[in-house]
Each structure stands twice: as C-alpha cells, then as structure tokens.
C-alpha cells in the first residue's frame, strides 16, 4: 500500500493457554484511515485488537509470538513502557464503562494521572475532548453530574472523549456501537468519519454494513486468521476468497 | 364428568374452570392436593418460627425497657458514677465506648483495606493466598475471650499499655479485623473489571488504578464493613474484662493511655452488684438501652451509606 503505515504486524500468534486464538496474522494498518475488522463470532478480531495496545497482558496465561510495530517500534519489547504505550493507543469498549465519577472527572482522569494538575489546563482539555466527541453541547452545563446519569449513547461518546483527552495517535474501537440504539450508532459513525483526519482508527464490528459505510480498509478474520485484507470497496464488491464472499452474503456468521 | 372430585387439569396444562373464576372452585387431583398441604405446612411452620423468635426478642426488650426506662434520663447520661445508685451516671462508660470506636474504626479500615488489597490485587492466587484466606476465616470464629488474652499479653504487658484506651482499642480492632478483611475483599472484588480495563486503557499503572478507581468504588463497602465491625466490637465484654478494664472509675480519662471503662463492662459489673442492691439492675437496664441505641444507630448509618451509594452507582 502506498499510504503511510502506522501499525505493522508480522506472523502474530496468540495463545490462551494452549488454545491458539490468532494464527500468523500479518497486516499493515495505514495511518489516518479507518480499518475495520470483521468476521464471525470468536474469530479473533477483538483479540487481535487488544494485542495492539497490549491489553491482553491483563489476562493471565496468554502467550504472544510474532511482532507488532507501532511507528516502527516493536511494542512487545520488554523495555517498552506499557502505560505510555496505552496512552498513545486509546481504546473504547463495547459496553460504555464510564467511571462512577462526574462527567468532568471522567474526561480529566487521563490527563490527571499523567501529571496535569492545573485546573485551567484541565478545563481546556475537557472542553476540547468533549467537543471532539460531539458531546459538548449536551453536557456543557452539567459537567458536575454523575456520568451514570447519561444515556447509553452519551456514555459511549463520553468514553470516546475520555480516550481522546490523553491525545492518542491511534483509536481502537471494540464493537463500540453494538450496545447502542440506531440513532446513537449513527452519531458515532459520523464521529468516526470526522476523527480519522487526526487519528488512525481500527474498529472491530460485527455489523458488515457499518464496516462498508465507515471504513477505508477492511480485514476479514476467520478462526484466528486473516482470510482477506483489502480496501473496503474491493473487499465488499470483489472479494477474492470464497469464505469472504460466503460471510458477506450471510451464509454464516 | 365422574364424581365431584374430578381432575379438570388437562394434559396441556390448562385449567378449565367450571363456571366461575374463583380459585376455590378449582378442583385438583389428589397429588396436587398433597403438595398444596405440604406448601401450607412449611409456610405455617416458618411463620410460627419467626413469631417465636421475635417473641423472645420482644420479651427481652420489654423486660429491659420496664426496668430501665424510668432510670434513663439526662442526668444519667451526663453524670459520672456515684456511690449512690440514684445519682450514678454513665458518662465515663459512654466516653470510653466512643473512644474505643474512635480507635477501632480507622485501625480496622486501614489494616483491613490494606490486607484485602494485598490478597485481591497483589498476591498470587494460588497456594499462599488460599492459605491466608483460610486463616482469616477461622480467626473470625475465635471466641472473643481469646482476643482478650492476646491483648493482655501483647498490648497490656509486652507493650506496657496496661488497661488503657489504646490497649482496649487495639485488642478490639484485632477482634473485628477478620470480619472487615472479608467485607473489604468482597467490596474490592465487586468493582467491575470494565472499570479497571478503562483505567488501564488510558495508560494507568496498577497502583494508580487501585488508588483512583478500585478504592473509591469499593469505599462504601469498606465503610459499611468497618462500621458493622465496630458495632460488634463495642458490645464485647469478655476481652475488656480479661484486659483488666474496671467498672469503678470515678474520673474521666484524660488521654489514650489512661484508665477507662466502657458500656458493656459497666453493664456487666452493675448486673453483678444487682444481687446485693436491686437498684443496680435498673441502672444496668438503662445502660443496656443506651448501648442498644448506639448499636442501632451504627447499623442504620451503615445501611444508609450502602443505600446512598447504590443509588449513585446505578444509572
């Protein structure tokens, strides 16, 4: 691909104990684009996503072989500062998980733990992040409210704002709209299209139409392997592999 | 239709009523009737058991109230002991009990939270932590008298604290600690993994996540555990008696290292005195009422805290 590569994996294997969840995954993920990962349940797309910010380290008994490079740096090198890595690579989860704190404190959490204390600066960051997440108009008068009071769609946008507050380069979205109603899903899809001007986005989705609508590149996973990886238009209209075509036409999944 | 005791339950499970919808007009086959009788029997036995238990409790409370209510007045609460039963007050005892509370709460909270944190967050989940777990659960069942002996030898003699407030407070803290640890572990475990995940995904370290997410989220559970432990501790008599806390103290304690008395000890000794001087039974009953009110308030506080945070937590 002629575009700048942000993330590169080579022969990535992952084992949960003795069960192999990822097999020899080799992918180049371009910068400032949306890359979608699709596939049937249990095919390893979420697992793959989590290897990109080493969130799999939190799960006991996980073995990772192969290489993952972000901006040319091998992130599984033992010298890598993992918390710093996770700051550069933000993640938004399937079910909105705001902290049981105020809206303001949720967004300010990231900057605060990385050393920013001055209220004026935090105020600015909070406003910027909520604006970038298309949530500011709805919450600007109630930043002191508990985050739990927001609706599901608002909570998810809050989680996006929270992730944006630490100024990552990359955003990983793990089925972020699965738990939301269509209206909220639409809002977030629009948001993703806007965010890609400044961020590299990798999203897992089980909704093929969403992948077709929003992404520039799509990877089709099955049983831990990448069956096909191409520009979205090509993959959806001219799939090269039989399994891809079968999945896209709904024969399984 | 055969005879009047007919099965009207069809195989499909639908019940066909004859002409009304009243339950008692539904006629059931014999095996259903036996089950219904068993149901009624169990319910009745359960009900009688509750009534029985409550009756005992109510009887005790009434007895205490009758004996003590007349002697419970402002004078009683704010005056110290006296040779004359009519003039005696429990100010010493109340102050002593509050002082004990003031020690037990922070000590159990901090030590309990720290131990629970270690067990839940840092210790490997295998042999070592299991062993400690069993140890702690067993400690919770040790008779309180034993803690008195422990306190006497370690705090009273070894550390030279004798029968001071500090000595009593530390002994009761040890007594309450196993319960607080278990409650704290529950509270920490109940913090959802998604919240920790969110924290890690933002670039937080293990300790930052514990300090800024896990502990604050678990705090209501920690607090209620501590309050309940305190409420148990203030009612304990045996450890204090073994420690050497007396009842006949005329002056108020002026430091943590000073001699003192506490409500349960006071009640105990007054009950003993009541053999010779019947008025002391009234005094004891009045003091019991005070102690019960204190316990009730503590438990109420624990329940309110739990409710308030549960409301805040749920969306």
Average pLDDT over residues A177-191: 90
- Does the interface ipTM go beyond 0.90? yes
Using the beta-carbon criterion (under 8 Å), do B200 and A55 form an inter-chain contact? yes
Largest interatomic CA distance in chain A: 57
Residue numbers of chain B with a pLDDT score lower than 50: 1-13, 17, 19-21, 25, 315
Residue numbers in B near A83 (CB within 8 A): 200, 203-205
For chain B, positions 246-285, list CB contacts with chain A under 8 A.
Answer: none
Q: Which of residues 213-252 of A touch B (CB under 8 A)?
A: none
Q: Please report the pLDDT score of residue B198 as a whole number.
A: 96
Q: What's the pLDDT tens digit per position in A201-243?
A: 999 998 888 999 999 999 999 999 999 999 999 999 999 999 8
Instruction: Return the pLDDT at B312.
Output: 65
Report pLDDT for B6. 44
Q: Which residues of A touch B202 (CB under 8 A)?
A: 86-87, 90, 109-110, 113, 162-163, 166
Question: Is the CB of B312 less than 8 angstroms away from the CB of A90?
Answer: no
Condensed to tens digits (0 to 9), the pLDDT of residues A129-138 reads 999 999 999 9
What pLDDT is attached to residue B123?
79
Determine the pLDDT at residue B24. Answer: 56
**Between residues A166 and B85, the one the model is more confident about:** A166
Q: Are B28 and B9 in contact (CB under 8 A)?
A: yes
- Strand ranges for chain A from DSSP E: 5-16, 19-30, 34-38, 62-70, 73-74, 89-92, 170-174, 200-204, 217-222, 225-231
Q: What is the pLDDT of residue B47?
A: 95
Q: Would you state the pLDDT for residue B1?
A: 44
For chain A, the residue count is 253
Name every chain A residue with its beta carbon within 8 A of the beta carbon of B201: 53, 55, 86, 90-91, 93, 163
pLDDT, residue B87, reads 72
Q: Parallel, antiparallel, or unpaired for β A19-30 and A34-38?
A: unpaired
Residue of B nearest to A93 (CA): B198
Q: In this complex, do B312 and A146 lie within 8 Å of one another by their Cβ atoms?
A: yes
Asked if B201's CB is within 8 angstroms of A53's CB, the reply is yes
Predicted local distance difference test score (pLDDT) of residue B29 = 65
Tell me which residue of A207, A88, A106, A90 sits closest to A155, measured CA to CA. Answer: A106
Give B 177-206 residues with CB within 8 A of chain A. 192, 194-205
Q: pLDDT for B184-241, tens place per residue?
A: 999 999 999 999 999 999 999 999 999 999 999 999 899 989 998 899 899 999 999 9
pLDDT band for A249, please (50, 70, 90 cuts): confident
Residue B28 has a pLDDT of: 61
- Is pLDDT above 60 for A183? yes
> Average pLDDT, stretch A175-196?
91
Interchain contact A91–B (C-beta under 8 A) = yes
Is the separation of the CB atoms in B121 and B207 below 8 Å?
Answer: no
Looking at residue B2, its pLDDT comes to: 43
Task: Note the pLDDT tens digit of each residue in A61-96.
Answer: 899 999 999 999 999 999 999 999 999 999 999 999
């Amino acid at each position: 691909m002629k575009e700048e590569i942000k993330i590169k994996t080579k022969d990535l294997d992952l084992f949960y104990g003795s069960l192999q969840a990822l097999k020899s995954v080799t992918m180049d993920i371009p910068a400032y684009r949306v890359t979608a990962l699709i596939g049937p349940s249990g095919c390893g797309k979420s697992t793959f996503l989590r290897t990109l910010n080493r969130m799999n380290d939190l799960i006991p008994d996980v073995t990772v072989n192969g290489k993952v490079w972000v901006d040319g740096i091998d992130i599984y090198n033992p010298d890598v500062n993992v918390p710093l890595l996770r700051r550069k690579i933000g993640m938004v989860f399937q079910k909105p998980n705001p902290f049981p704190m105020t809206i303001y404190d949720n967004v300010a959490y990231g900057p605060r733990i990385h050393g920013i204390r001055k209220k004026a600066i935090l105020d600015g960051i909070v406003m910027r992040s909520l604006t970038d997440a298309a949530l500011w108009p709805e919450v600007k008068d109630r930043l002191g409210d508990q985050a739990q009071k927001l609706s599901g769609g608002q909570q998810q946008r809050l989680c996006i704002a929270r992730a944006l507050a630490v100024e990552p380069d990359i955003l990983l979205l793990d089925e972020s709209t699965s738990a939301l109603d269509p209206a909220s899903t639409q809002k977030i899809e629009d948001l993703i299209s806007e965010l890609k001007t400044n961020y590299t986005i990798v999203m897992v989705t089980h909704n093929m139409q969403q992948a077709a609508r929003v992404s520039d590149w799509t990877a089709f996973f099955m049983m831990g392997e990448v069956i096909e990886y191409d520009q979205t238009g090509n993959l959806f209209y001219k799939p090269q592999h039989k399994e891809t075509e079968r999945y896209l036409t709904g024969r399984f999944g | 239709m055969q005879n009047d005791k007919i099965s009207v339950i069809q195989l499909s499970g639908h019940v066909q009523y004859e002409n009304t919808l009243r339950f008692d007009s539904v006629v059931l086959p014999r095996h259903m009737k036996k089950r219904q009788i068993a149901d009624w029997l169990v319910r009745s036995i359960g009900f009688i058991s509750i009534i029985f238990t409550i009756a005992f409790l109510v009887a005790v409370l009434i007895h205490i109230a009758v004996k003590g209510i007349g002697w419970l007045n402002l004078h009683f609460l704010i005056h110290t002991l006296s040779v004359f039963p009519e003039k005696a007050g429990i100010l010493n005892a109340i102050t002593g009990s509050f002082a004990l509370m003031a020690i037990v709460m922070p000590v159990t909270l901090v030590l309990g939270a720290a131990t629970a944190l270690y067990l839940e967050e840092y210790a490997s989940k295998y042999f070592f932590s299991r062993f400690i777990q069993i140890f702690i659960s067993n400690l919770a069942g040790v008779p309180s008298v034993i803690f008195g002996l422990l306190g006497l030898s370690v705090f009273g003699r070894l550390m030279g604290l004798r029968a001071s407030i500090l000595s009593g407070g530390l002994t009761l803290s040890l007594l309450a600690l196993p319960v607080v640890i278990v409650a704290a572990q529950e509270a920490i475990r109940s913090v959802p993994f998604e919240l920790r995940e969110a924290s890690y995904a933002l670039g937080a370290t293990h300790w930052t996540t514990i300090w800024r997410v896990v502990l604050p989220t678990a705090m209501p559970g920690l607090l209620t555990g501590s309050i309940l432990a305190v409420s148990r501790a203030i009612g304990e008599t045996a450890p204090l008696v073994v420690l050497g806390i007396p009842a006949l103290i005329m002056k108020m304690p002026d430091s943590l290292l000073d001699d003192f008395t506490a409500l349960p000890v006071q009640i105990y000794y007054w009950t003993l005195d009541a053999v010779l001087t019947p008025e002391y039974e009234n005094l004891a009953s009045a003091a019991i009422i005070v102690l019960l009110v204190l316990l009730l308030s503590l438990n109420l506080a624990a329940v309110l805290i739990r409710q308030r945070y549960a409301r805040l937590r749920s969306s």
